[in-house]
A = this chain, B = another copy of it.
Amino acid sequence: MTIEYEQLPKNDANYVPLSPVSFLHRTADIYPESESLIYNDIRFTWAQTRARCVKVASSLAQRGLGKNDTVSVFAHNTPEMYEAHFAVPMAGAVLNTINTRLDADTVAYIIDHAESKLFIVDRGLWPVLEQALSIATIEPEVILIDDEYADPSEKHTVPMVSSYDDLIEQGDPNYQWSLPEDEWQALSLNYTSGTTGRPKGVVYHHRGSYLMTMGTIASWNVPHMPRYLYSVPMFHCNGWGHAWTMAAKAATVVCMRAFEPRLFFQLLDKHEITHFGGAPIILNMLANAPSDQQRTFDRTIHAMTAGAPPPAAVLQSMNAFGFEVMHVYGLTESYGHILQAAPQLTWQDESLEAQAELKSRQGVRFAMTEAVDVINTDTEKAVPHDGETMGEIVIKGNTLMKGYLKNSVETDKAFQNGWFMSGDLAVIHPDGYIQVRDRAKDIIISGGENISSVEVENVLYKHPAVGEAAVVAMPDEKWGEVPCAFVELKPEEAASEQELIDFCAENMARFKKPKKVVFGALPKTATGKIQKTVLRAQTK
């Protein structure tokens, strides 16, 4: 042992806390005149974006805000929302973005739980906040985002408060921002939507978001100066961390206040977009949009999608538009995507349908993800790579939350034996690709056999008349549980209950076919997740 290797301690030059804020400063230094943000007629350069963020950070600091102080933002994907991802941590504070579809009661809960010191709100969301403030115990200062591009119906009257523009005007352009002392310091706070109970506050650290950026660049092959359309809500896992990733690559980021297929296609075209992210519902809406709204592109547009795998039909539409879709997997707790359906060269030789199947799997780990496995939670052993044996996805890596704020019970449940327990059930295929079968709580146990609700849903989606489908467990005297399907048909399409049951029986193991089909609109959470708890209640 050459013990002197140990006698070289860290110093301020060779050990700098990792923080995604560093990427903004580098890009503003090197490409000051490049366009950073476009929002309708508003255009900023990277020098301007940095200057605005520094001034906002200064105004936060002037108010005494700093380390471990929560700044909540309740807003759409406007430039202010983007800037908050840098301005708030530059002041040392914690960014708490809030889902714009939440109700006043939940917003009040978040304000109190997070101990919000400052609350930045889009004028359009004021009525919800006004009601929330009447419920909450904590009284944060309110700052108004007054978006000129909001719909007239959103321009609510708000009592005298400071505006976001005031933060900029009153900010010191020479404010001495600093990196956190410790890269483990809290960077942001994201409440999970939680289909039952109160939302949990997921805490991100600076190190994690720095590495999320680097790993996303490496594994999504993000080029220099991409043109990115921000269609993923930034309140969702900090927009998958892409606010920081795009700054690191000197991107031009195009903001979108609200998603709408016609506008989306227009923006792709007008701003020569090269990259975007979107939940499957976004891809669905694009695939099903009226053809006079759709556009096709000669160039490749890289799309990242997470959540339920896009059905083959949707993937085919995407190909026709010119989109190269990368299917990814992640959770709020993992800063977003940590697995990707990274394509293999050999896939090119497969049929389009087989390719869609291969690409619909959640895949393999991103560069910053240290380990992912699927384990039998009883034996704690990894499942065989047989594509059949189900287990729980477990994750290890530096893009995992610090924990749930003020909730050591749930934090301890989430971290077990050196793993983060995802709560998702999956199989591993012989090629090592992971495929999610179900949320642990959504699995249907019928006569002692596991039936994945997602598997049944995927078969239903292949039926040409099915628009949306959800399958839940229904109590059954003989089998314990049996699958019950809830289906929303496509407009102007028709199918009978028996027809769909037969279709399932023909396309999967017969014992997995739903015993009942209920037609109608599906209940959803604020983030667009189908509320299976509501459906389960209907089966009882």
Chain A interfacial positions (CB closer than 8 Å to B)? 1-8, 10-16, 18, 22-23, 26, 29-31, 34, 67-70, 94, 114-115, 184-186, 203, 208, 211, 214-215, 217-218, 221, 223-224, 248-249, 342, 344-345, 364-365, 367, 369-370, 395-398, 400-403, 405-406, 408, 411, 415, 418-420, 432
Given contacts A184-B10, A411-B8, contact A69 B400 (CB under 8 A): no
Q: Nearest-CB distance from A328 to chain B (Å)?
A: 14
- Contact between chains at A14 and B217 (CB < 8 Å): no
- Contact between chains at B16 and A69 (CB < 8 Å): no
Q: Nearest-CB distance from A261 to chain B (Å)?
A: 31
Given contacts A30-B432, A218-B214, contact A402 B14 (CB under 8 A): yes
Tell me which residues across on chain B come within 8 A of A420, comparing CB atoms: 13-14
- Give the nearest-CB partner of A96 in chain B: B2
- Contact between chains at A364 and B2 (CB < 8 Å): no
The winner among A11, A211, A398 for most chain B CB atoms within 10 A is A11
Q: Nearest-CB distance from A63 to chain B (Å)?
A: 14
Tell me which residues across on chain B come within 8 A of A30, comparing CB atoms: 342, 364-365, 432
Q: Nearest-CB distance from A179 to chain B (Å)?
A: 8
- Contact between chains at B13 and A419 (CB < 8 Å): yes
- Give the nearest-CB partner of A433 in chain B: B30
- Contact between chains at A400 and B370 (CB < 8 Å): no
- Complexed CA–CA distance, A224 and B221 (Å): 7
Can you list the 5 inter-chain pairs with the closest CB atoms, starting with the nearest?
A: A8-B402, A8-B403, A12-B418, A14-B400, A214-B214
- Contact between chains at B2 and A68 (CB < 8 Å): yes
- Complexed CA–CA distance, A431 and B387 (Å): 56
Given contacts A26-B367, A342-B30, A395-B13, contact A5 B214 (CB under 8 A): no
- Contact between chains at B218 and A370 (CB < 8 Å): no
Given contacts A5-B68, A249-B218, contact A400 B13 (CB under 8 A): yes
Given contacts A217-B218, A420-B14, contact A2 B70 (CB under 8 A): yes
Given A4-B406, A15-B398, A217-B218, 11 further pairs, Cβ under 8 A: A3-B68, A5-B405, A8-B203, A13-B395, A29-B365, A31-B344, A34-B345, A211-B214, A214-B215, A214-B218, A218-B248
- Contact between chains at A16 and B396 (CB < 8 Å): yes
Tell me which residues across on chain B come within 8 A of A345, comparing CB atoms: 34
- Contact between chains at A367 and B13 (CB < 8 Å): no
Q: Nearest-CB distance from A88 to chain B (Å)?
A: 13
Q: Nearest-CB distance from A208 to chain B (Å)?
A: 8
- Contact between chains at A2 and B94 (CB < 8 Å): yes
- Contact between chains at B69 and A13 (CB < 8 Å): no
Q: Nearest-CB distance from A213 to chain B (Å)?
A: 8
- Give the nearest-CB partner of A400 in chain B: B14
- Complexed CA–CA distance, A302 and B110 (Å): 51
Query: Quick one: which of B16, B248, B401, B408 contacts A370, CB cutoff 8 A?
Result: B16
- Complexed CA–CA distance, A444 and B318 (Å): 64
- Complexed CA–CA distance, A406 and B30 (Å): 38
- Contact between chains at A415 and B13 (CB < 8 Å): yes
Query: Quick one: which of B67, B367, B370 contacts A1, CB cutoff 8 A?
Result: B67
Tell me which residues across on chain B come within 8 A of A342, comparing CB atoms: 30
Tell me which residues across on chain B come within 8 A of A211, comparing CB atoms: 18, 214
The winner among A14, A29, A402 for most chain B CB atoms within 10 A is A14
- Complexed CA–CA distance, A272 and B83 (Å): 43
Tell me which residues across on chain B come within 8 A of A217, comparing CB atoms: 214, 217-218
- Contact between chains at A396 and B12 (CB < 8 Å): yes
- Complexed CA–CA distance, A29 and B432 (Å): 8
Given contacts A14-B401, A184-B10, contact A115 B2 (CB under 8 A): yes
Q: Nearest-CB distance from A374 to chain B (Å)?
A: 14
- Contact between chains at A11 and B218 (CB < 8 Å): no
Q: Nearest-CB distance from A397 to chain B (Å)?
A: 6
Q: Nearest-CB distance from A181 to chain B (Å)?
A: 12
Tell me which residues across on chain B come within 8 A of A29, comparing CB atoms: 364-365, 432
A-B contact pairs, 22 of them (CB 8 A): A1-B69, A2-B70, A2-B114, A5-B402, A6-B68, A8-B203, A8-B402, A8-B405, A8-B411, A13-B395, A13-B396, A13-B418, A14-B420, A18-B211, A30-B365, A30-B432, A211-B214, A214-B217, A217-B218, A218-B218, A221-B224, A248-B367
The winner among A208, A344, A398 for most chain B CB atoms within 10 A is A398
- Complexed CA–CA distance, A249 and B218 (Å): 8
- Complexed CA–CA distance, A310 and B469 (Å): 63
- Give the nearest-CB partner of A394 in chain B: B13
- Contact between chains at B2 and A405 (CB < 8 Å): yes
The winner among A224, A344, A367 for most chain B CB atoms within 10 A is A367
